């Protein structure tokens, strides 16, 4: 299916997430036709780990979906994508890949050429075209508060540096709609990203041949909503929006799970 045709099918206007995801499932679906529920692969981004998907995963598992939430190494675009591609190669049957934030770059690359991947779901995530970088997409539109000044840098190894969100900014920048007690724990356990990921170009994108869905966080302080809408529109994604921070899957787990189930049908 061409990008143009997918764009026409998806529609250019985003809809409000609550009402749209409660609508009958027949309105939008992509499936294998075998009746087999696909395995849902949940991929976290930077400054996070797989536990951020717990609220979503518990809902999917309860509804009978096979779920795996593998670790994202956060060492570099090519290496992280290769790592995930290796995991995907061990899974049989249809797959739906779900990504948050930087995880979107990883699934965009890891899914390329894998015929088992039936859908891509992006949750406030990066959706790069070939040659684009995380930093380029994050700064394409104004509004991101995740600047260099918001990060602590810690060296590891010879000439290698990790970035962490500063404690005093973590709540407001990363997860402003969560309780501060929750974000204090998230900050303490955050997994850093190698700063090289910021400028490493992405490869051939899977979204050019795989149907996609997108959940835009209207209150996102990390990846500007305008950038999210631009990437979703370009990918021809079925696009929904919610009044939520960057961590939509934690703040709105029911809506996120509903969108994923929509993409699995």
Low-confidence ranges of the chain (pLDDT < 70): 1-34
**pLDDT in the model for residue 16:** 54
- 132 token code pair: 């684009």
Distance (Å, whole) CA 112 – CA 209: 9
- 90 token code pair: 């061990």
**pLDDT in the model for residue 265:** 87
**pLDDT in the model for residue 27:** 35
**pLDDT in the model for residue 171:** 98
Four-point Cα dihedral 27, 30, 35, 38, nearest 10: -120
**pLDDT in the model for residue 157:** 87
**pLDDT in the model for residue 11:** 39
**pLDDT in the model for residue 21:** 66
Distance (Å, whole) CA 24 – CA 91: 30
φ, ψ at 8 (rounded to 5°): -65, -40
Measured at the CA of 101, the angle between CA 98 and CA 107, to 5 degrees, comes to 45
């Amino acid at each position: 299916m061409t990008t143009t045709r997918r764009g026409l099918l998806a529609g250019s206007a985003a809809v409000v997430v609550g009402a749209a995801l409660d609508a009958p499932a027949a309105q939008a679906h992509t499936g294998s036709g075998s009746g087999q529920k696909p395995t849902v692969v949940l991929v976290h981004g930077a400054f996070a780990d797989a536990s951020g998907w717990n609220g979503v995963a518990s809902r999917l598992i309860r509804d009978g979906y096979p779920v795996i939430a593998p670790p994202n190494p956060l060492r570099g675009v090519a290496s992280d994508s290769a790592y995930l591609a290796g995991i995907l190669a061990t899974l049989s049957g249809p797959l739906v890949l779900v990504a948050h934030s930087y995880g979107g770059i990883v699934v965009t690359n890891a899914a390329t050429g894998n015929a088992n991947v039936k859908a891509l779901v992006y949750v406030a995530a990066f959706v790069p075209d070939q040659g684009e970088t995380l930093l380029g997409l994050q700064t394409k539109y104004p509004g991101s508060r995740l600047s260099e000044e918001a990060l602590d840098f810690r060296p590891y190894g010879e000439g290698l540096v990790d970035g962490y969100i500063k404690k005093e900014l973590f709540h407001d920048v990363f997860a402003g709609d969560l309780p501060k007690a929750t974000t204090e724990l998230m900050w303490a356990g955050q997994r850093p990203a190698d700063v090289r990921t910021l400028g490493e170009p992405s490869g051939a994108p899977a979204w050019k041949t795989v149907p996609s869905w997108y959940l835009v966080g209207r209150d996102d302080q990390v990846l500007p909503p305008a950038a999210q809408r631009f990437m979703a529109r370009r990918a021809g994604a079925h696009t929904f929006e919610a009044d939520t921070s960057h961590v939509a899957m934690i703040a709105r787990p029911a809506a996120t799970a509903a969108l994923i189930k929509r993409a699995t049908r």
